[in-house]
């Protein structure tokens, strides 16, 4: 059985002109692959579009990658205590929104968890097969949290207050999709579907006047001991983005216990709330990306309450002994067709 979601409060999608041609572009970035499907005029040069898309992705990597040691983020992480670093507008926007979301969620979302991410084996330091010690976890927590960051709005700069290590992996991919969308908009392309590492952003419709239908990523089949199949979810992706945070993507097992890659920055440990996945739909993929992580950390009950208070369209799939239990926020229910 399908659940179908239709976007609300968006402009009427434009039908591509008769002379529009379908093109698909693809490549690699940020440790994953990307694909852009679009309809454009014959006058649009394919090589120019490919290069323009890649340039937006390269900009995000240059500024925000934890893996490229020359990135602005890595340079900030190496700064001596109390030094300032000037931020380009894109980097500043992510820090500004991240601090807002941290405050809103009581620290459930925190971009200063870089040392924790590395410690648990989910960062550039490499994978691990055993849980770190309590002593090491507490040391990583003492490196600082979001409240330790000093962001100077007037001069658009950020202060390294001690030994903070930023990690933007829960928001940078989403922002990269937004950057690609802004580029395509600037080229007057009004029908496209962008995918990067499982996250999506779409606009417009196809020549047959059908929308860009996408499936919400599912944890079904990711764990052999899950029995009951849940519904299939379809979204008409016009003026919308979709991002999913799931405990089935990256994890390691030790003594029968699974440690997933989504960490609770308040405790220093991976989340253990039985949430298999959280999917968020939002106009900005940056917001959907970060919000999916924040709601996962909050858990189903507190996450659903937050989503309802802030009109966030969110789908929660929670593991039970009988399979998955589905919970939807009011904003998502309103989108049901």
The residue to which tokens 């649009």 are assigned: 44
Distance CA 313, CA 331 (A): 5
What distance in Å separates the CA atoms of residue 54 and residue 62, rounded to the nearest whole number?
12
The count of residues in the chain is: 337
pLDDT at res. 124: 82
Q: At what angle do helices 172-186 and 285-298 cross, to 10 degrees?
A: 160
In this predicted structure, what is the pLDDT of residue 222? 45
Does the pLDDT of residue 180 top 60, yes or no?
yes
- Cα of first residue to Cα of last residue in the chain, in angstroms, is 13
d(CA 229, CA 38): 33
Nearest one of 319, 30, 316, 71 to 170, comparing CA atoms? 30
Highest mean pLDDT among 60-74, 111-125, 311-325: 60-74
Specify which residues 213 forms β-bridges with.
Answer: 236
Cα 81 from Cα 133, distance rounded (Å): 26
DSSP per-residue string spanning 225-246 = T------EEEEE-SSEEEEEEE
Q: Between 329 and 248, name the one with better pLDDT.
A: 329
Least trusted range by pLDDT, from 10-14, 21-25, 139-143: 10-14
Quote the pLDDT of residue 294.
97
Per-residue pLDDT of 231-274, as tens digits, reads 789 999 999 999 999 765 555 555 555 556 789 999 999 888 88
**CA pair distance 95, 158, nearest whole angstrom:** 9
Indicate whether 227 pLDDT > 50: no
Instruction: Round to whole Å and give the CA distance between 279 and 272.
Output: 18
Q: What pLDDT, on the 0 to 100 scale, is given for residue 273? A: 84
pLDDT score, position 43? 94
Distances (CA, A) of 68 to 75, 83, 113, 180, 196: 10, 21, 18, 21, 19
DSSP secondary structure string, 61-125?
HHHH-SS-TTSHHHHHHTPPTTEEEE--HHHHHHHHHHHHHHHHTTTSS-TTBHHHHHHTT-STT
Q: 79-160 has which fold?
A: T-fold (1.10.3980)
The confidence score (pLDDT) of residue 230 equals 53
Quote the pLDDT of residue 144.
Answer: 86
Mean per-residue pLDDT, 199-208: 95
> What pLDDT is recorded for position 320?
85
Contact 36, 177 (CB under 8 A): no
Residue 15 scores a pLDDT above 50 = yes
pLDDT digits (tens, 9 = 90+) for 63-119: 999 999 999 999 999 999 999 999 999 999 999 999 999 999 999 999 999 999 999
Q: Looking at residue 224, what is its pLDDT?
A: 37
* Confidence (pLDDT) at 228: 43
Q: How confident is the model at residue 123 (pLDDT cuts 50, 70, 90)?
A: confident
Average pLDDT, rounded, for the chain: 91
DSSP 275: E
The pLDDT of residue 258? 58
Give percent of the chain with pLDDT exceeding 90: 76
Which stretch of 17-21, 36-40, 306-310 has the lowest confidence by average pLDDT? Answer: 17-21
Structure tokens at 241: 């983005």
**Looking at residues 154-167, what average pLDDT do you find?**
95
Q: How confident is the model over 197-201, as a mean pLDDT? A: 94
State the Cα–Cα distance between residues 239 and 24, nearest whole angstrom.
19
Helix axes of 46-64 and 89-104: crossing angle, nearest 10 degrees: 60
Q: Are 200 and 193 in contact (CB under 8 A)?
A: yes
pLDDT at residue 80, as a whole number: 95
Say whether pLDDT at 337 is over 70.
yes
Query: What was the pLDDT predicted at 2?
Result: 79
């Amino acid at each position: 059985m399908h659940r179908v979601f239709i976007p609300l409060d968006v402009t009427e999608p434009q039908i591509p002109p008769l002379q529009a041609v379908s093109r698909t572009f693809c490549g690699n970035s940020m440790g994953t692959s990307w694909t852009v499907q679009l309809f454009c005029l014959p006058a649009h040069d394919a090589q120019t579009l490919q290069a323009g898309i890649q340039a937006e992705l390269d900009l995000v990597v240059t500024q925000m990658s934890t893996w490229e040691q020359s990135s602005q983020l890595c340079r900030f992480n190496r700064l001596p205590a109390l030094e300032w670093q000037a931020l380009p507008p894109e980097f500043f926007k992510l820090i500004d929104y991240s601090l807002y979301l941290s405050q809103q969620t009581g620290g459930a979302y925190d971009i200063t968890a870089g040392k924790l991410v590395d410690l648990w084996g989910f960062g550039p330091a490499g994978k691990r097969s055993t849980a770190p010690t309590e002593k090491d976890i507490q040391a990583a927590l003492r490196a600082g949290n979001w409240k330790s960051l000093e962001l100077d709005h007037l001069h658009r700069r950020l202060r390294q207050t001690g030994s903070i290590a930023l990690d933007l992996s829960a928001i940078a991919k989403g922002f990269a999709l937004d950057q690609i969308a802004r580029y395509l908009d600037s080229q007057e392309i009004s029908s496209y579907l962008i995918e990067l590492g499982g996250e999506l952003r779409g606009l417009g419709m196809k020549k047959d006047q059908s929308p860009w239908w996408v499936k919400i990523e599912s944890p079904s089949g990711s764990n052999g001991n899950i029995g009951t199949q849940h519904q299939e979810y379809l979204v008409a992706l016009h003026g919308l983005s979709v991002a999913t945070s799931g405990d089935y993507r990256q994890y390691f097992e030790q003594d029968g216990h699974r440690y997933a890659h989504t960490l609770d920055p308040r405790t220093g440990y991976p989340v253990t709330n039985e949430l298999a996945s959280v999917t968020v739909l939002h106009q900005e993929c940056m917001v959907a990306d970060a919000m999916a992580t924040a709601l996962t950390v909050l858990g189903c009950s507190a996450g659903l309450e937050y989503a309802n208070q802030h009109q966030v369209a969110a789908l929660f799939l929670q593991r039970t002994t009988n399979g998955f239990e589905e919970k939807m926020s009011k904003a998502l229910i309103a989108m049901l067709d």
